[in-house]
């Protein structure tokens, strides 16, 4: 495996990170255990299998004078993935003492940054004190893997799945140091289109900051601490709401977040009247048939969550309409597409401006609500079936809460990660998620 320059957005994630605000994503999987020693056996399996996964050997190295094969415009001051010469899986797989609450431990582990001079991932095995379960917390830096690629890396160390062989991909075209002159007219047109799109995005970002009422609970001063929890819902119940009211499953899942925030804010005394926080809904721009790894290719939709609306079905209708407008405009325009502007910033600009960008995240959106795909097939580790999965999104500076959602074998799993000092009552918010889906079902009728 050779070196691979980080894509612009990967480089941005790498440079906006700080020790107090790490930019890794995570997932807490709970497995049914056949014996009290299942957790220790799982840790041994993970370490042994990780040694044979090339993607887990990759570290991130600063690039000031890249070798000829890597030279690209604006690469000065960038970074590249390269195989770590001294990779040891035992540095990345840890077996912990038995725990009676997996989320308490996961929260403490999520607030620890990954070691930047080693391949930026970890797997923490947490045996359950009950002896009939264990959990594994996977952490991947967002510069190493987005949600989809992180899933692939994690699946590579779980028990093998009987999947069809992937289609062979064509070799990537060789690129010279200068563009082909025959392509210059198209490149000029593309540059002009990109400039126009950048102006559209910039204007949308500016407008999105006007006339917004969020909640201090979502944008409190960051302490760098972390708390996690999760909640599981019946996917059939979500489909009942979707079939009754129209739209998509994702519309329902986002509306559940809006309603849960309303209940939570009112119960804690913060008040929800008039509150409409800006939710960033990431959208993958990855081309599935591309031969060469592209790194993170994310855009996003930005919507106002109708937290202040007291009617569950009205909230769902508002979310559905907002998502439809975003889809009509496409993921390449609008305030949510601001991540695409990373492609137009030189590598050195990411390095120098990363800390400022990280601090500006709260000016762009108030809460992240992201979906992480999971396979429908049952996952196992050492023969032990995965029974629950809670995905965790990175928590940016200036934000108190991030929400990630996955569907797995007939269940919807919400993973909540929060600033532990700003949101000490995260379990109450998780309960409000369950209450909101119940309210939607009642409103839809029999």
Determine the pLDDT at residue 286: 52
Whether 253 and 429 have beta carbons less than 8 Å apart is answered as no
d(CA 434, CA 41): 34
**pLDDT-based confidence at residue 170 (cuts at 50, 70, 90):** low
d(CA 408, CA 386): 10
Q: Is 204 exposed, middle or buried (CB count within 10 Å of its CB: 0-12, 13-18, 19+)?
A: middle
Q: Token pair of 315, please? A: 């909230």
The model carries a pTM of 0.82
Averaged pLDDT, 358-385? 81
- DSSP state letter for 153: H
**pLDDT-based confidence at residue 64 (cuts at 50, 70, 90):** low
Of 43-57, 167-181, 185-199, give the range with the top mean pLDDT. Answer: 43-57
d(CA 34, CA 134): 10
**pLDDT-based confidence at residue 192 (cuts at 50, 70, 90):** very low
């Amino acid at each position: 495996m050779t070196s691979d320059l980080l894509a612009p957005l990967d480089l941005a994630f790498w440079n906006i990170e700080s020790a107090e605000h790490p930019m890794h994503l995570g997932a807490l999987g709970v497995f049914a255990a056949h014996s009290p020693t299942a957790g220790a056996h799982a840790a041994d399996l993970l370490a042994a299998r990780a040694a044979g996964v090339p993607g887990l050997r990759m570290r991130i190295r600063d690039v000031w004078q890249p070798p000829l094969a890597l030279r690209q415009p604006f690469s000065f001051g960038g970074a590249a993935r390269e195989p770590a010469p001294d990779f040891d899986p035992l540095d990345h797989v840890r077996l912990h003492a038995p725990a009676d609450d997996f989320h308490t431990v996961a929260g403490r582990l999520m607030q620890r940054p990954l070691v930047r001079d080693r391949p930026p991932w970890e797997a923490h095995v947490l045996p359950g004190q009950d002896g009939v379960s264990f959990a594994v917390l996977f952490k991947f830096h967002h510069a190493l893997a987005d949600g989809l690629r992180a899933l692939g890396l994690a699946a590579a160390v779980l028990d093998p799945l009987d999947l069809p062989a992937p289609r062979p991909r064509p070799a990537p075209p060789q690129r010279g140091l200068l563009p082909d002159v025959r392509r210059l007219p198209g490149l000029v047109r593309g540059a002009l289109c990109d400039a126009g799109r950048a102006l559209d995005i910039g204007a949308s970002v500016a407008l999105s900051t006007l006339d917004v009422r969020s909640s201090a609970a979502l944008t409190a001063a960051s302490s760098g601490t972390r708390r996690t929890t999760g909640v599981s819902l019946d996917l059939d119940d979500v489909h009942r709401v979707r079939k009754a009211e129209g739209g998509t499953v994702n519309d329902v899942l986002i509306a559940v977040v809006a309603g849960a925030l309303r209940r939570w804010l009112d119960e804690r005394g913060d008040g929800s009247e008039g509150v409409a926080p800006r939710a960033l809904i990431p959208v993958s721009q990855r081309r599935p048939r591309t031969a060469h790894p592209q790194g993170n290719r994310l855009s996003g939709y930005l919507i106002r969550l109708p937290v202040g609306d007291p009617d569950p079905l009205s909230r769902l209708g508002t979310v559905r309409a907002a998502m439809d407008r975003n889809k009509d405009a496409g993921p390449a325009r609008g305030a949510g597409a601001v991540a695409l502007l990373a492609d137009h910033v030189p590598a050195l600009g990411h390095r120098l401006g990363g800390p400022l960008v990280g601090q500006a995240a709260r000016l762009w959106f108030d809460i992240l609500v992201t979906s992480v795909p999971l396979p429908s097939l049952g996952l196992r580790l050492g023969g032990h079936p995965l029974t629950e999965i809670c995905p965790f999104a990175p928590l940016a500076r200036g934000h108190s809460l991030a929400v990630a959602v996955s569907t797995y074998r007939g269940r919807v799993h919400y993973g909540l990660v929060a600033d532990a000092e700003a949101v000490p009552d995260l379990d109450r918010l998780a309960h409000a998620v369950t209450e909101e889906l119940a309210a939607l079902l009642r409103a839809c009728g029999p």
